[in-house]
Chains A and B, each alone.
Chain A
Amino acid sequence: MERLFCDPRRCVACRACEIACAVEHTSSKELFAAVLHGDLGPPRRRVQTLGAQPYRVAIGGVALSLGCHHCDPAPCVDACITSAMHKENGETVCDLEKCVGCWMCVMSCPYGAITPRVKALKCDLCPDRQGRTGRARYACVEACPTDALFAGTFEEFAQVLARPLERPWEVVR
């Protein structure tokens, strides 16, 4: 199954993924309209600083963008008392119609990837973008200006991590 990963060497903590994610989960899917209509909810992934270090570009970045890992077995699915949180082809999905906001999933997620806002909000792997291909498949991946976000299996991502980072500024100099 395809999942989303972030290369901390490339993440410059610009938060473009957060905005793109929040916008993707509005009815208009357009930033200005979403803000205008008060439709903009929280992003389902967040840029996080690694450890207590402030972000420093000179060492290649120490931030990364994190969301749901779609793990299996998923503690949030175990904890859900309505079966709103469930597995669908390996993806962990919350059926918002069924969610009663008991926050058992929030309590159970070891990655802090679920946001309690009336309903349990989390990465749903952009269901409205099904059919799109390449970087456009996921809003956050498409929005990432430094190619830090990666969609694929972890084995594929591990190959990316194993490659030495190209440092464009060194080439220019």
Chain B
Amino acid sequence: MNRYVMVGASAAGVTAAETLRRYDPNSEIVMVSDERVIYSRPLLSYYLAGKLNEEQLLYRPRDFFERYKIKALFTRAVGLDPEKSQVHLQDGSAITYDKLLLATGASPRFPAIEGIRERAGVFGLRKLEEDAKAILSWLPQARRAVVLGGGLVGLKAAAALKERGLNVTVLVDSPHALSQMLDESSARIFEGLFERNGVPIRTKAKPVALLGKKNVEGVQLASGEVFPCDLVIVGKGVDPNLELLQDTKLRKDYGVLVDDHLRTSVENIYAAGDVAQVRDVVRGEPWINALWPCAVEQGRIAALNMLGRETRYRGSMRMNSVQFFGVPVISAGLAVLTPGPLGGRSGEHDETLESRPAPGIYRKIFLKDDTIVGFVLVGEVPIEAAGLLRILMDRRVNVADVKEELLELGPDLGYLLPLIAQNREHFVEREFQELVQTVGV
């Protein structure tokens, strides 16, 4: 009988625990988490907006731990001793593991701005108790909010606060909003949309100080301009939680480095989710795509490997789906032309396919050597093709013969079946194999 220990109880940890229990009814499963409830972080902006209540954030039943016979330790893991196979906990005790999963996630990145740690009324948006609930209890005294960062979290928070009746301004360092997700012209559509909905977005705005005595009273830019406010949300991305790796030999780069079986460099230790740096299938190099679907898949595959059921992880890719003020957008791969926090690379494509059937509705597909490396889809009909474009990108299929069709593609898998049949060795899933056999091409 084994003892599996998981540090972290969000998407990766929870999925791993479920998978372990599914295939191993008897072993001991221990989860260490500094949060008592299992909830969905991507839903926090819905909670902040008042669209969902706390109960609706829970994506697993409240008796999850009992149901799966999991021993939950609601404390912080503060150290790791691979020699002794032990995790040290905050209360001074230690727990021994046979197999360990690091699913410690990531934390909001607070840029080095004067006063950002000292002033009250400054929040990230990552955790239910310390962020979302704290913001809600701060709201009665807040009228004007400034959001630092024009990424997904920042803009979702801004829209939510607007919904709550606050005056909201978004300050973005980059030349345009959503710079990790959209190319400039796509981003302009959304900047205009926010503007029309009463949420101005200021680009190329570099904050240097948070003003105020005890509470935050304003944000000062490098230009000297001051935005008065009584609430600041920081949405400048996240950094992986690597505290446990201190004084260990685990290989790390930006996150914990893992191989294609999600094993770290130290025996019996695995990593999954926002802390794990895995192969990015589009970039072809180790990367962190801190995304819910990736964390879930990695949690499952790490668990299968912990069980000895050898399973290879294909890799992750950047992919984002979001809807602002009723306009949906899905983008994936290297739609980004500005460098990200990991350095980033630009100009990765040599061809752009573009169609704009109506204002504000369009598709943009980026190709390199006739292979899809990224796309941006805006509007309800265009986004229906996202899954098909993504699988073509994921499997590195040469799309030279179907370029025109790609721009007209609805959810038309049939169109692509001959191409999939030609590349059948890359489409190993049972369902694709069935389709190839069905059409007999």
Binding site for B on A (CB under 8 A): 5-8, 46, 48-52, 63-64, 66, 69, 71, 73, 75, 78-79, 81-83, 98, 100-104, 106-117, 154, 157-158, 161
B59 & A108 in contact (Cβ 8 Å cutoff):
no
For the complex, give the distance between the alpha carbons of A79 and B297 in Å: 9
Contact partners of B384 in chain A: CB under 8 A: 106, 112, 115-116
Contact A81 B40 (CB under 8 A): yes
A5, A6, A108: most-surrounded residue (chain B CB, <10 A) = A108
12 cross-chain CB contacts under 8 A: A51-B417, A52-B402, A69-B431, A78-B293, A82-B43, A101-B323, A102-B322, A104-B293, A106-B384, A115-B384, A115-B411, A116-B380
Name which residue of chain A comes closest to B411, CB basis. Answer: A112
Contact status A103-B330, CB under 8 Å: yes
Q: Quick check: which of B230-238, B245-253, B432-440 contacts chain A, the rest being far away? A: B432-440
Q: A48-B412, A114-B387 are in contact. Are A8 and B439 (CB under 8 A)?
A: yes
CB–CB A161/B431 < 8 A: no
Residues of B within 8 A of A (CB): 15, 40, 42-43, 46, 51-52, 56, 59-60, 292-293, 296-297, 300, 319-323, 328, 330, 332, 380, 383-388, 390-391, 402, 405, 410-415, 417-418, 429-432, 434, 437-441
B178 to chain A, nearest CB (A): 16
A154 to B269, CA, bound (A): 39
Minimum CB–CB distance for A88 against chain B, Å: 15
Q: Is the CB of B59 within 8 A of A48?
A: no
Bound-state CA distance A154–B293 (Å) is 28
Report how far A71 CA is from B269 CA in the complex, Å: 30
> Contact at B414–A49, with CB atoms within 8 Å?
yes
CB of B110, distance to nearest CB on chain A (Å)? 25
Bound together, the chains give a CA A64 to CA B380 distance in angstroms of 24
From A51, A66, A78, A83, B297 is in contact (CB under 8 Å) with: A78
- Among A66, A75, A82, A112, chain B packs the most CB atoms within 10 A around the CB of A112
A7 to B438, CA, bound (A): 7
CA distance A109 to B411 in the complex (A): 10
Q: Contacts A51-B418, A73-B300 hold; do A111 and B328 have CB atoms under 8 A apart?
A: no
CA gap between A157 and B297 in the complex, in Å: 30
Distance in Å: Cβ of A65 to nearest Cβ of chain B? 9
**A111 partner residues in chain B, CB cutoff 8 A:** 387-388, 413, 431
Q: Are B418 and A50 in contact (CB under 8 A)?
A: yes
Cβ contact within 8 Å between A110 and B391: yes
Residues in A with CB closer than 8 Å to B380 are 116-117
- Known A-B contacts A78-B296, A100-B43; A106 and B387 likewise in contact (beta carbons under 8 Å): yes
Pick from B414, B429, B432: contact of A66, CB under 8 Å: B414
CB distance from A96 to the nearest CB of B (A): 14
B300, B332, B412, B429: the one contacting A107 at CB < 8 Å is B332
- Please give me the residue from chain A that is nearest to B401 by CB atom: A52
Query: Given A110-B388, A110-B391, A64–B438 Cβ distance below 8 Å?
Result: yes
User: In the complex, A161→B319 CA distance in Å?
Assistant: 37
Decide if A112 touches B388 in the complex (CB within 8 Å).
yes
A100 adjacent to B413 (CB under 8 Å): no
Complex contact A116–B390 (CB within 8 A): no
Q: How far is the CB of A103 from chain B (nearest CB, A)?
A: 4
Set A5, A48, A79: member contacting B413, Cβ < 8 A: A48
Residues of B close to A82: CB separation below 8 A: 40, 43, 56, 59
Instruction: Pick the residue among A71, A83, A116, A158 that contacts B437 (CB under 8 A).
Output: A158
Contacts of A6 in B (CB 8 A): 438
Min CB gap B18→A, angstroms:
11
Once the chains bind, are A103 and B321 in contact (CB under 8 Å)?
A: yes
Given contacts A82-B40, A82-B59, A111-B387, contact A75 B293 (CB under 8 A): yes
Report the bound CA distance from A51 to B405 in whole Å. Answer: 10
* Bound complex: CA A76 to CA B40 (Å): 16
Tell me, rounded to whole Å, the shortest Cβ–Cβ distance linking A124 to chain B. 17
A48 contacts across to B, CB distance below 8 A? 412-415
* A117 CB contacts on chain B under 8 angstroms: 380
When the two chains form their complex, are residues A103 and B328 in contact, meaning their CB atoms are under 8 A apart?
yes
Q: How far is the CA of A39 from the CA of B296 in the complex (A)?
A: 36
- Chain A contacts for B414, CB-based, 8 A: 48-51, 63-64, 66
Q: Are A50 and B59 in contact (CB under 8 A)?
A: no
- Note all chain B residues with C-beta closer than 8 A to A157: 438
Q: Considering the chains assembled together, what is the distance between the CA atoms of A50 and B196 in angstroms?
A: 43
Known: A66-B413, A106-B384, A110-B387. A79 touches B293 (CB 8 A): yes
User: How far is A81 from B441 in the complex, measured between Cα atoms in Å?
Assistant: 37
Please give me the residue from chain B that is nearest to A5 by CB atom.
B438
